[in-house]
Structure 1
Amino acid sequence: MDLQQKVKEVFPALSIGQKKVAKYLLVHSHTFAVTSAQKLGKDIGVSETTIIRFCYSLGLSGYAELQKLIRNQLIYESSSLNEYHSSKLEAASQPNFMAQVMGQDITSIEKTMKNLSNEDFSKTVDQLAAADNVLISGHRLSFSAAHWLTFTLRLVREEVHLYRPDTDDIFLLLNKMTENSVFVAISFHRYVKETVKITEMAKKAGAFVIGVTDSELAPIAEYTDILLPISTPRTSTIDTAPVLFSLLNSLVAGVSIKDEQGFKKRKAIYDAFNQDDYFF
């Protein structure tokens, strides 16, 4: 269903209160996706019943179905290669293409810095530093980030593992997790169902679940203890990479400071190796 088109079609026949709901929906659809009908009614200035009747006017079974419809549209229509290419064409029309593209990345990082909860970030660092075991998962675009986070975090603390679907048995990995373990799910549009399912399994196993994603409405959000959504002015998933790696780098830096003694111990181990045979 094209929700906006449907609202426009039924609008003339709506009551005054329902028209207020319709106008609000066309401008603030994201609010409908994350707000209860009761609270939404108070914000708009109508009764909860009016919102339910508005849903009926759209041919829906109720508010829950409207929320599901909006969430699906926000999630699955939010990213495209076309948007990525369009933004780069816009940059190409300006002097110094490289500076324009990197400037877009800087804007994304600044937006994430502003919107991300410092409390959630600090709690994430605390959990990653204190966990007896950290398991990290990501697929498609997210796999490279999951691999980088695993490698880098392993430099500053022990017991960090990457789930590799081609060689690992996820049931054995999850069986090793306890209430003192941390599971990190990295998931971006288009959201891979396996990542969502594994995140749900990790939650049921008792692990503390951290989600790194591009939207508060992402499917993994339901199973996370902390969600770290990054922000971009563009909807292209490719454009999330620079800010994603910047956020992951901040997390690793935070862990190295949080557990300074552990970091020094790891550093001493690396320094003790004879590396002449491997590096110039």
Structure 2
Amino acid sequence: MEFTNNINDSKQLISIIQSRYPKMSKGQKLIAQYIIKNYDKVAFMTASKLGETVGVSESTVVRFANALGYPGYPKLQDALQELIKNKLTTVQRVEMANNDYSDDATILSKVLKSDIDNIRGTLEEIDAKAFKDASEEILKARKIYILGMRSSHVIAQYLGFYLDLILDNVHVIRLDMGDVFEQIVRINEEDVIIAFSFPRYSKKSYQVVDYAKNKGAHIISITDSYFAPVACLSDNTLLVKSNMASFVDSLVPAMTVANALAISVGMKEKEEIKKYFDDLEKIWEQYSIYE
């Protein structure tokens, strides 16, 4: 199997391991047995930790990944994470993190490093054309709806705040104001909906986006995987890394992409927003908004 980014690779991984098991070396068989039984744990183990756990060298783990067609262990790990990240309960996430977060200094270091790695991975993998197209669709839309359920609602509000400074047709779908479908009932083919969706994927998010799609709206999803339900409906998908450090998801890369999207739209409306901010500065000064 040559490595590809085909989204079916992860779903086929376990069956591929099983089919190749008879021809594996003794060390590789130990790894295969452990992965099949504990793939939810292996998804967040380093190569050295996996090797230590099953009693083989780190280089044997790397060769095992190569034997499956992956260019390195991190890509095998990505495939395993795709298999399980939407299925882990919060309790399971806490249990997985127990041994890795022994003290406050370790927690701070691991979380910061994890976010740095996620931003770096996002920069390497995000589709620049999809980003450009998303920015242009936002500008020409009659109305822009922004959706984020649960923790993703914070990012939706953030993007909505800044887009609202640039444009006058932005609506953040609120979770505290009636049913969400009531807020998008007038959506049509001239509109855009921007949906943030991360594991565990909200069923309601998919339903709202599905409704918008059926009404002809342009769908922009900011999510972590082409496996994400909303990605299947999207016209533009902006993939961001969101590997879990623990029971708290890493939403920093999503916030960064939202920031970049707001700046991209703003730079296309540069002269208009300069006048707008000039008016705002006068208001802020008149009413002593800032010290």
Q: TM-score, normalised by structure 1?
A: 0.67
Does residue 128 of structure 2 align to residue 139 of structure 1? no
CA contact (8 A) 1:136 1:163 kept: yes
CA contact (8 A) 2:226 2:232 kept: no
Does residue 146 of structure 2 align to residue 154 of structure 1? no
Q: Structure 2: how far apart are the matches of 1:114 and 1:233?
A: 15
Does residue 282 of structure 2 align to residue 279 of structure 1? no
Q: In the alignment, residue 237 of structure 2 is paired with which amino acid?
A: L
**Structure 1 segments unaligned to the other structure (5+ residues):** 13-25, 30-43, 45-69
1:110-139 Cα distance to aligned partner (Å, 9 max, x none): 100000111111111111222221111111
Q: CA RMSD in A?
A: 3.7
SS in structure 1 at match of 2:222: strand
Q: Structure 1: how far apart are the matches of 2:82 and 2:225?
A: 12
Q: Name 1:125's counterpart in structure 2.
A: 135
CA contact (8 A) 2:195 2:205 kept: yes
Q: How many residues align?
A: 225
Q: Structure 2: how far apart are the matches of 1:100 and 1:170?
A: 37
Q: Structure 1 pair 156/246, CA: closer, same or farther in 2 (3 Å)?
A: same
Q: Structure 1 pair 126/197, CA: closer, same or farther in 2 (3 Å)?
A: same
Q: In the alignment, residue 280 of structure 2 is paired with which amino acid?
A: Y
Q: Structure 1 pair 96/223, CA: closer, same or farther in 2 (3 Å)?
A: closer
- How high is the sequence identity, in percent, across the aligned residues? 24
CA contact (8 A) 2:284 2:290 kept: no
Does residue 270 of structure 2 align to residue 270 of structure 1? no
Q: In the alignment, residue 101 of structure 1 is paired with which amino acid?
A: V
Q: Structure 2: how far apart are the matches of 1:71 and 1:105?
A: 16
Q: In the alignment, residue 201 of structure 2 is paired with which amino acid?
A: Y
Q: Structure 1: how far apart are the matches of 2:194 and 2:112?
A: 28
Q: Structure 1 pair 94/235, CA: closer, same or farther in 2 (3 Å)?
A: closer
Q: Name 1:224's counterpart in structure 2.
A: 234
Q: Name 2:250's counterpart in structure 1.
A: 240
CA contact (8 A) 1:138 1:195 kept: yes
CA contact (8 A) 1:145 1:245 kept: yes
